[in-house]
Structure 1
Amino acid sequence: MDPSYPSQSFAGFVQDEVPVLMSGAGHGAMALSHLTKVGMIFVRCRGGISHSPEEHVLDDDVWASGLAILAFIETLLYI
């Protein structure tokens, strides 16, 4: 993940407590990291369960993550 993109600047945009997380997981981003800078937005899951049929996210959390991605893209357009 590329630390040059300041994740905290988007935390205020979604107006929620947004921790900065480092991921050691492979994910698809890892396969692209040799071509470009990469980053991820994690959406909180009920009970912390992910990558499982029991995974559940709230619609509002999905919406907030989408808004954060949009804000990030809009910021890149003006850099």
Structure 2
Amino acid sequence: MSLTDTNPVIETTEDTHHDEVISKSGLAMIYAVLAAVVVAWGSAVYAFGIPGLYMPAVALVPVIWVILLIISRG
């Protein structure tokens, strides 16, 4: 059997219509917060040099660890 012998049609029984999960204003807020974080991190690099680049990442390790634990617990 080769790949050309297989049936390319995949049947799904799920509804493909999805409602909008997040509003446009919510999405704009997420982008604004993300931009503020990037600007703050860039300002730290400008003010403190290389330690300003890696210290925020080191400080976020426990936060990311807790987030991963929450995600893994389902």
Question: Common fold, TM-score beyond 0.5?
Answer: no
Where relative contact order (Cα < 8 A, 6+ residues apart) is larger, the structure is: 1
Q: TM-score, normalised by structure 2?
A: 0.32
Higher-helix-fraction structure: 2
